[in-house]
Amino acid sequence: MANPSKKSPNLETVTTINDDGSHYVLHPADVRGKFTVMRRLVAAVMLFVYVALPWIQINGNPAVFLDVAHRRFHLFGLTLAPQDLWVLFFLISGLGFTLFFVTSLLGRLWCGWACPYTIFLEHIFRRVERLIDGDAPARRKLAAAPWNFEKIWKRVLKHGIYILSAFLIAHIFLSYFVSLKSLYGYMRENPLAHFTPFAVAAFLTVVLYGCFAFFREQFCIIMCPYGRIQSVLTDDDTMIIGYDEKRGEPRGAKGKVEGDCIDCRRCVNVCPTGIDIRNGLQIECIGCSACVDACDEIMVKVGRPKGLVRYDSLNGLAGLKRRILRPRIFLYLGLAGLGTAALIGAVTQRARPYTWSVTRMQGPPYYTDGNAVRNHYQVLLINKRNQPATVTFDLVNPPAGFNLSGENEPLPMEPKSELERPAIIVCDYGNFTGPVELQLRATANPGNTTLLQTIRFIGPNPNSLK
């Protein structure tokens, strides 16, 4: 459906929503400039990382592999079992406060430069659209044209590539949860044989296609909460993209007014969310810098200095003193550093290549057999490494008369496996004087990793044993 007459952005309504609530389809013009080149380089690196991570092997596992089926989560050589997932609290906290720090310093840099949604939309789907449908005027003309052969084949080709792109993005995402070898095998078999992965991939393909082909910038404007919290994270010294009103106004044709802005609307035409940056900082702005390159290009053509639209703080745009270092910067940086330090400490001290638990077996809390008291425990040890291991168990400096029953020879473990066995501790009557705390030790190799667990040994009243 063709759009109504061309809209002028304002601060009262959202440009991309018509009065009747329907979607006003934007056709952002292409732009050239140093920020556009840098954004495309960043996008290329991010896309490469997204595709490459499941292929890069570290310690025998993909760099990032969330193996839900086997309850193992591999992150850059670190393997976490479900018991270790509490470590992610510090990871998420550190990343969250880092994002707060970046936002308070540089505004919505994440949205315009590194957000996966922006990268997929701007650097894949809209590039495909420009390649097939042409520049902005050609796209508007094609959208308003009746359905003829040219429009049909262009729509079929474009949406076919959209579906293929969504299909590939969905399957790459799935490879973070299903190994590439298994995923390739699934794709060659009947979908019903592996219905859950197939359903997830199909669902993601449909959602991604719907978002990037139709919903587009509406996700950033309506659904994403990040734009709504920027007012809390930013202040008048935050680096944003803004319009130098003192220099630009009054706007108009060159030679007829004193302001540098010639009111060409080039900044509006290139905006992917349909705003007019000259109206000031707005929730829809994702900080992509397209308007900066567009305005600089026009300023060069009319012989005026660049920077009418630029990266600056609100204080800088108003001609006031700029401040980079301020209390909120130190606060967010400190919290980010605290989360990172806690993560490093947790990983090095607790999230080890081996994890274990020791629990008392169900049944009687202790046993007596005429001359000794026995306590039975269940030991579960997990080898998170992708290599075989051996483990031995013993007691650390036990009191006289206490010993660990059974073989003390090293027990073998397969790569990424679990070992479950009983541990029986025995104490003769003559040395049992009441409940006592003992330390059970497991020594795992390779790595010479020592795991300690304090357990309580209990029994009957010692007087009854005499």
Q: Domain total for the chain?
A: 2
For residue 6, is it within any domain? no
* Cα 397 from Cα 440, distance rounded (Å): 10
For residue 302, is it within any domain? no
Give the model's pLDDT for residue 407. 62
For residue 318, is it within any domain? no
For residue 78, is it within any domain? yes
Same domain, 229 and 365: no
* Cα 302 from Cα 270, distance rounded (Å): 19
256-315: pLDDT as tens digits: 888 899 999 999 999 999 999 999 989 899 999 999 999 999 999 999 999 999 999 999
Q: Which residue has the higher pLDDT, 108 or 466?
A: 108
220-271: pLDDT as tens digits: 998 988 888 877 888 999 999 999 999 999 998 887 888 899 999 999 999 9
Same domain, 186 and 41: yes
Supply the range of the domain harboring residue 424.
354-465
Burial class (CB in 10 A: 0-12, 13-18, 19+), 145: exposed
For residue 317, is it within any domain? no
For residue 261, is it within any domain? no
Same domain, 201 and 66: yes
Give the model's pLDDT for residue 52. 95
* Cα 308 from Cα 269, distance rounded (Å): 16
Q: Which of 199, 233, 267 is the last residue of a domain?
A: 233
Indicate the average pLDDT of the chain: 90
Closest by Cα among 399, 214, 241, 230 to 307: 241
361-406: pLDDT as tens digits: 998 999 998 789 999 999 999 888 878 999 999 999 999 999 998 7
For residue 221, is it within any domain? yes
- pTM equals 0.83
CATH, residue 427: 2.60.40.10
Q: Which of 233, 259, 294 is the last residue of a domain?
A: 233
Q: Which of 176, 208, 233 is the last residue of a domain?
A: 233
Same domain, 216 and 360: no
Q: Evaluate if residue 191 carries a pLDDT over 80.
A: yes
For residue 285, is it within any domain? no
* Cα 388 from Cα 94, distance rounded (Å): 34
% residues pLDDT > 90 (the chain): 61
